[in-house]
C-alpha cells in the first residue's frame, strides 16, 4: 500500500507532466495498491494515471476500484478504451460490473464489446437460466424523438449494417428509456422534414429481461412481431430478441416436451452428438421408475388370482382393456397439454374441462364398450363374459379420459411442467387401475 511520501511523489510527477516516469513507476505496482492510490487522489488525476496503464494492468486495477470510481472512469474514457478494458476483465468481474451499473450504461457497454464476449457477458449477467436476458442482443437501431425523419434514416444507414434487424427502429430518450417502436416502412414513407415524434403512438410491446423465454414466444406469436424489445424494471432498453432466436427457443421447447412426453430426460445436445452413455443415462431413470410402477399391475393380477384361475378366459381381455385405457388417457392428456401451452386453456377452466371430458369419456366408453361386447359374443368366453368386458371398458375409458385431462391441469397449478405427464407414465398408472376395475367387476358379476 503506497504511503504518503509515495503519493506526494506521484502528485509531484503529475504536476510536472512526467508521464514517462509515472508509467515506469506504476508498471511495477500491484493492482490493489494502484486502486488504493486512486482512492486518495483527485478524480481528474485518477483518469490521467489510469490512461498510463497498459491494457491488462488497467483491467486489473479497474476491477479493484470502487463502483463510483468505475463510473467516473467509464465516462471519461473513449469507446475504444472502454472496449479494451471491459474485454480484458475476467468474466465474473465483468458480470459484477454490469450488475451494479444503471441500465443505460450497461446497454452502452454491451454495444461496444465483441460479439463473443457480449454473448458470454449476457449469459453471466445475472439473468436466470432460460430468461429473456439470455437471448437478447444489443445490436439494434435506436433513434431520438426530436430528430427529423431524414436524420433518423441517415442514422439507420450509418449504423444499420451492424444491427440484428432494421425492420424496427426503437425510439429512446437521453437515458435510453424506451418510448416507442416504429417500423422502417413508416419512416421511409414519411416526409423527411417530419419529426420522429410525429409518428409515435406509444403503443408498443416489450418484455422484462427476467421474464421466461416462453413469455417471449407467446408475445411474438400474439402480436406477430419481427423483434421484441427487452427492458429492465425502469423501462431502459437493454436489447432485442429477434424472431429467429424465438424460433430456436421454440424448437428447443418442443423438443424438450417431446422427450419428456416419452419419459426421457431432455438431451442438452443433438441426438447425433449424444454418446451411447448419454442416451443410456437419459433413458434409464424413467424406465427404472416405470418398471417399479408396473409391479402395481402385477400386484393387482396376483390379488385376483382365484378369479383369474376360475375363468382363464378373463385374461384374453386384459390387453384390450388396459390398451384402450392407456390410449384414451394419452389422447386427452395430449390435447390438454397442447391447449395449455398455446394459451387456449387456462387453469380457471378446469371445471369446464372436467364436464366436457366426462361427456366425451362416456361417449367413447359406451362406443368402445359396445363394440367389445359384440365382439366378445363371437369370441372366447362367449356371451358370459361380454357384459363384464363391456362394462369394464365403459368405466376404464371414462376414468382414463378424466385422468389424462385433469392431471396436466393439476401439475400446472403446482408450477410443474405438464409435459412430465408422459405417455408411459399415464399408461402405467391406468394399467393398474384398469385391471383393478376389470377384476372387481368380474368378481361382482360372477359372484366369486
Instruction: Tell me the mean pLDDT per 10 residues along the chain, length 448.
Output: 67 79 82 80 76 79 75 75 75 66 73 74 71 81 94 91 83 93 94 94 91 89 89 90 83 74 67 74 74 71 70 78 86 84 78 89 91 77 75 92 88 76 74 86 80
Domain with CATH 3.10.580.10 in the chain: 141-246
pLDDT attached to residue 309: 67
3-state secondary structure of 91: helix
3-state secondary structure of 183: strand
The domain 141-246 having CATH identifier 3.10.580.10: the answer here is yes
Domain with CATH 1.10.357.20 in the chain: 276-446
Alpha-carbon distance of 115 to 139, in angstroms, equals: 10
pLDDT attached to residue 98: 75
Q: Pick the closest to residue 397 from 370, 377, 378, 425 (CA basis).
A: 370
228: left (phi over 0), alpha (psi -120 to 50) or beta: beta
For domain 276-446, the CATH architecture is Orthogonal Bundle (1.10)
Domain with CATH 1.25.60.10 in the chain: 4-126
- The domain made up of 4-126 has a fold known as MgtE N-terminal fold (1.25.60)
pLDDT attached to residue 95: 62
Nearest 5°: the CA angle 108, 114, 119 is 85
Q: Does the predicted TM-score (pTM) go above 0.85?
A: no
Q: What is the DSSP letter of 138?
A: -
Pairing of strands 207-208, 178-183: unpaired
Nearest 5°: the CA angle 20, 24, 30 is 140
Continuous H helices in 3-66: 4-16, 19-27, 31-39, 43-52, 55-64
pLDDT attached to residue 149: 95
pLDDT attached to residue 188: 94
Amino acid at each position: 500500500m503506497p504511503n504518503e511520501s509515495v503519493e506526494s511523489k506521484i502528485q509531484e510527477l503529475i504536476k510536472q507532466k512526467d508521464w514517462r516516469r509515472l508509467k515506469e513507476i506504476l508498471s511495477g505496482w500491484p493492482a490493489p495498491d494502484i486502486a488504493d492510490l486512486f482512492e486518495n487522489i483527485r478524480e481528474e488525476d485518477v483518469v490521467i494515471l489510469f490512461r498510463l496503464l497498459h491494457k491488462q494492468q488497467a483491467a486489473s486495477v479497474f476491477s479493484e476500484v470502487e463502483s463510483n470510481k468505475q463510473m467516473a472512469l467509464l465516462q471519461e474514457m473513449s469507446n475504444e478504451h472502454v472496449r479494451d478494458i471491459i474485454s480484458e476483465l475476467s468474466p465474473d468481474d465483468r458480470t459484477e460490473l454490469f450488475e451494479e451499473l444503471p441500465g443505460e450504461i450497461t446497454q452502452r457497454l454491451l454495444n461496444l464489446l465483441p460479439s463473443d464476449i457480449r454473448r458470454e457477458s449476457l449469459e453471466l449477467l445475472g439473468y436466470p437460466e432460460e430468461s429473456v436476458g439470455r437471448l437478447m442482443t444489443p445490436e439494434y437501431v435506436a433513434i431520438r424523438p426530436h430528430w427529423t425523419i431524414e436524420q433518423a434514416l441517415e442514422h439507420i444507414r450509418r449504423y444499420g449494417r451492424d444491427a440484428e434487424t432494421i425492420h424496427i427502429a426503437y425510439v429512446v430518450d437521453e437515458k435510453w428509456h424506451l418510448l416507442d417502436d416504429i417500423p422502417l416502412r413508416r419512416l421511409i414513407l414519411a416526409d423527411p422534414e417530419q419529426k420522429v415524434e410525429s409518428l409515435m403512438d406509444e403503443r408498443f410491446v416489450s418484455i422484462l429481461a427476467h421474464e421466461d423465454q416462453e413469455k417471449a414466444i407467446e408475445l411474438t406469436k400474439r402480436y406477430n412481431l419481427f423483434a421484441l424489445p427487452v427492458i429492465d424494471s425502469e423501462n431502459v432498453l437493454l436489447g432485442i430478441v429477434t424472431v429467429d432466436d424465438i424460433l430456436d427457443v421454440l424448437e428447443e421447447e418442443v423438443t424438450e416436451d417431446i422427450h419428456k412426453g416419452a419419459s426421457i430426460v431432455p438431451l442438452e445436445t443433438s441426438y447425433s452428438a449424444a454418446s451411447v452413455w448419454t442416451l443410456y443415462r437419459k433413458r434409464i431413470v424413467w424406465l427404472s421408475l416405470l418398471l417399479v410402477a408396473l409391479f402395481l399391475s402385477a400386484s393387482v393380477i396376483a390379488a385376483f388370482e382365484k378369479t383369474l384361475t376360475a375363468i382363464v378366459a378373463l385374461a384374453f381381455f386384459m390387453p384390450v382393456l388396459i390398451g384402450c385405457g392407456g390410449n384414451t388417457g394419452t389422447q386427452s392428456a395430449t390435447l390438454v397439454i397442447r391447449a395449455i401451452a398455446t394459451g387456449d386453456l387456462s387453469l380457471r377452466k378446469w371445471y369446464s374441462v372436467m364436464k366436457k371430458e366426462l361427456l366425451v369419456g362416456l361417449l367413447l366408453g359406451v362406443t368402445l364398450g359396445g363394440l367389445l361386447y359384440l365382439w366378445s359374443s363371437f369370441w372366447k368366453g362367449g356371451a358370459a363374459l361380454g357384459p363384464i368386458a363391456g362394462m369394464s371398458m365403459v368405466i376404464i375409458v371414462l376414468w382414463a379420459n378424466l385422468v389424462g385431462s385433469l392431471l396436466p391441469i393439476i401439475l400446472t397449478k403446482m408450477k410443474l411442467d405438464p409435459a412430465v405427464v408422459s405417455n408411459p407414465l399415464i399408461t402405467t398408472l391406468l394399467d393398474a387401475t384398469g385391471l383393478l376395475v376389470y377384476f372387481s367387476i368380474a368378481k361382482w358379476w360372477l359372484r366369486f
